[in-house]
Structure 1
Amino acid sequence: MKNRQWKRVVLKVGSSLIAPDRKGCSSRYLLHIAKFILQCRDLEIQVILVSSGSVAAGAHFFGNIEKPTVAIKKAMAAAGQNEMMASWNRFFDFPSAQILLTHGDLQDKERYDSIRETIFALLEHGILPVINENDTVTTDALKVGDNDNLSAMVAAAADADALIICSDVDGLYDKNPHTCKDATMIKEVCNIDEAIYAMAGGAMEDGVGTGGMQTKIEAAEKATSHGIRTYIVNGFKESSFELLMNGTNPGTVFTAYDLPMQENLHWMTHTSKAQGELVIESNFDHPIDEHSEQFTSDEIVEVRGNFSEGDIILVSTEDGKHFAKAKANYSSSLLNFITTQEGDEDSNEFRHQTGPIISDENIAVLEQEEQWETDT
């Protein structure tokens, strides 16, 4: 195998592969995926499985409900998760472990580090981590929403060498291959830009899963910036995994950054969710990544949202440019007091005695303008 340089791989398998007919789990497409996992382990390549499918696997327990409520979907996930784990376990003669996550777990740095430690401990003892979003308890504010992006966050947390995302098509096409006969597959992507995103569509209307090519590209962008080579392959074809084992790209490969982002900055940029926003002067011209000690309350125009000391916030200019995510050294309440008491003697003294609002080691400068979601 030419991919012996892989030491750790994250494999993402979607609902349509687990339960294609929403009538419980099926081995129809899982046999060749399980074989690939076994072959990797035989070559001492550690595998982490990110597996969707709990809702689809549990749907048949609830009859033919055309439009299930949120509560019913959560119940389907609870019932289907056991069935999904049992389905995977029957293929293997080694132990597996279930890890259910929410975005709330990943965006809290202490819990994020705890997840890393758990994954490493499982792998060290030869146990297969099987990870899924915890659909039973998650809320809109705490959910990742799709397992493509979850798999990229897991790959970053686990310091993986490769991320393999299974799709229902062979890879990324310049047009929708389901509707355009002249669609051409892109074999390699070296830079994920607007043109690449323009090729992606949403989830198929009649599909079982929640993701589409859009979320797969988002996942690839997260993973490659951490130095993780990312593949989109057709999970329905056994040949996809045979080619991977032979070191051949069966779909679309996204090349990894030559200089990956530091772990803390990657987490801040791609995993954490901004709890609020600082708006600063548009003419702020300091190189904020190198001299952020100069960034004080004097430059603040507006404080948006409610956040505490230590929360991740978005930093924007008055003209709407989003250029950084950072760890706040002060709460929104304190910053609001400082900025709204202009001219007050005590406030002015405090403004000049306090340290920086953010510190240079706790800021991630955005390479391109992003519309980061906040909880405001």
Structure 2
Amino acid sequence: MNPQTIVVKIGTSSLTQKNGQIAIATIASLVETLTALRQKGHRIVLVSSGAVGVGCLRLNLKEKPRKMALKQAVAAVGQGRLMRTYDDLFNSLGQPIAQILLTRRELMERNSYVNASNTFEELLNLGVIPIVNENDTIAVDELKFGDNDTLSALVASLIKANWLFLLTDVDRLYSDDPRIVPNATPIDLVSSNEFNQLQVTAGGSGSSWGTGGMATKLAAARIATSSGVTMVITQGQQPQNILKILDGESLGTKFEPQTQTDNARKRWIAYGLIPMGKLYLDDGAVTAITQRGKSLLPAGITNVEGEFTAGDAVQLCDRNLQEVARGLVNYSSQELNKVKGSHSTDIASILGYNASDTAIHRDNLVIKD
């Protein structure tokens, strides 16, 4: 196989044992596997959960804290200890690593997004394995990724990865939770055409320490596959399966990438930004942007929700309140409230100026799947 760019995400449930202790054997196997992949010439990024769980262990806490300030403090304790573990193991094999802590803020601003991409590129060129986690110590709710499944998919999109492996506490995706429903059907392959029809009962997190569940993994699959990335869900306690999957063995659940993928800018709009408001559209505007590839004009806007400024991301919704697209606005919420329902030729007379004939240009629009 030609050298590939591979993102591997491992969850807290795989990094810790049932008693809360660090699963050293699993981490050691993961380190050996990723080092072996690097020696084969592949470019590797590891997205690792576990900072809060390890911090709880270090501080003898019996459950994950719910208070934000306490959780951030515990994450600060755990992150250093987790990286110490990784560094000791990788160093024993002669493999250099780097730590990258991200919040959504780094991916919301275009310049920061590009800088993050450049940093990853240089580290990978140096043969380093970056270890990524959400910066729990400073992240606030509105800027959090929510879970590392989402973070890993965004990183895979950011660095134009070929593969994303989600290592979890089940061996693959099932039609239902196999821990509850014994006859749940295993799903080995999800083609790009089958993804939207996939019927799965997606539950919550599998352990008391985790934040993700199968629902977040399906959301990650949507982000990754739309970016041209092949995603695999497989058993976290057997990271060596990554090597077998790359060699063609059918293990875990494989999600095929979509053939038509958005460019990097549109992926950034769709997944990197937090919408600051909503625009409600009439039927004509919905048809124009979703079926004819047109820009959104003020005439098609029926209502404006939220407070935002020009350049912010907003959701575009139809008469049934369903999101149909997302984009970057050319006007603030106050300005759009004044010109909604009006023809573009009337913008100057209403506002006293005309920054653009469009509310959102088609180049800054992403249609929802």
Structure 1 and Structure 2 fold alike (TM over 0.5): yes
Q: How do 1:119-158 and structure 2 match up within 5 A?
A: 119-158=120-159
8 Å contact kept, 2:15–2:50: yes
Aligned residues with identical type, % of pairs: 30
TM-score scaled to structure 2, two decimals?
Answer: 0.90
Which residue matches 1:271? 272
Which residue matches 1:20? 17
TM-score scaled to structure 1, two decimals?
Answer: 0.88
Deviations 1:149-193 (A, max 9, x none): 110000000100000000111100112111222222111011454
Which residue matches 2:58? 61
Deviates more, 1:233-242 or 1:265-274: 233-242
Separation (CA, whole Å) in 1 of partners of 2:81 and 2:351 = 63
Separation (CA, whole Å) in 2 of partners of 1:109 and 1:229 = 25
Gaps of 5+ in 2: none
Separation (CA, whole Å) in 2 of partners of 1:267 and 1:345 = 29
- The number of residues matched between the two structures is 361
Deviation at 1:94? Answer: 2.4
8 Å contact kept, 2:330–2:355: no
Q: How do 1:143-222 and structure 2 match up within 5 A?
A: 143-191=144-192, 193=195, 195-196=197-198, 198-204=200-206, 206-222=207-223
Gaps of 5+ in 1: 368-376
Which residue matches 1:86? 84
Which residue matches 1:374? none
Separation (CA, whole Å) in 2 of partners of 1:171 and 1:154 = 22
Separation (CA, whole Å) in 2 of partners of 1:252 and 1:285 = 35
Separation (CA, whole Å) in 2 of partners of 1:353 and 1:72 = 46
Separation (CA, whole Å) in 2 of partners of 1:27 and 1:353 = 58
Q: How do 1:273-312 and structure 2 match up within 5 A?
A: 273-284=274-285, 287-288=288-289, 292-293=294-295, 295-312=296-313
Deviations 1:284-341 (A, max 9, x none): 3653265535x32222211111111111111123332421111111111211233499
Paired residue secondary structure (2:6)? strand
Paired residue secondary structure (1:198)? coil
Deviation at 1:40? Answer: 0.8
Q: Which amino acid aligns with 1:254?
A: F
Q: How do 1:312-327 and structure 2 match up within 5 A?
A: 312-327=313-328
8 Å contact kept, 2:55–2:75: yes
Paired residue secondary structure (1:47)? strand
8 Å contact kept, 1:24–1:59: no
Separation (CA, whole Å) in 2 of partners of 1:127 and 1:109 = 25
Which residue matches 2:38? 41
Q: Which amino acid aligns with 1:266?
A: R
8 Å contact kept, 1:25–1:84: no
Q: 1:355 to 1:149 in 2, by over 3 A?
A: same
Q: Given the alignment of the two structures, is residue 11 of structure 1 paired with residue 8 of structure 2, yes or no?
A: yes
Which residue matches 1:77? 75
8 Å contact kept, 1:197–1:214: no
Deviation at 1:66? Answer: 4.5
Q: 1:238 to 1:267 in 2, by over 3 A?
A: closer
8 Å contact kept, 1:24–1:83: no
Separation (CA, whole Å) in 1 of partners of 2:52 and 2:76 = 8
Q: How do 1:292-371 and structure 2 match up within 5 A?
A: 292-293=294-295, 295-339=296-340, 347-348=349-350, 354-367=356-369
Deviations 1:37-72 (A, max 9, x none): 011111100000000010111112323344633222
Deviation at 1:24? Answer: 5.4
Separation (CA, whole Å) in 2 of partners of 1:66 and 1:285 = 47
Separation (CA, whole Å) in 2 of partners of 1:38 and 1:245 = 15
Q: Which amino acid aligns with 1:248?
A: E
Q: 1:57 to 1:345 in 2, by over 3 A?
A: closer
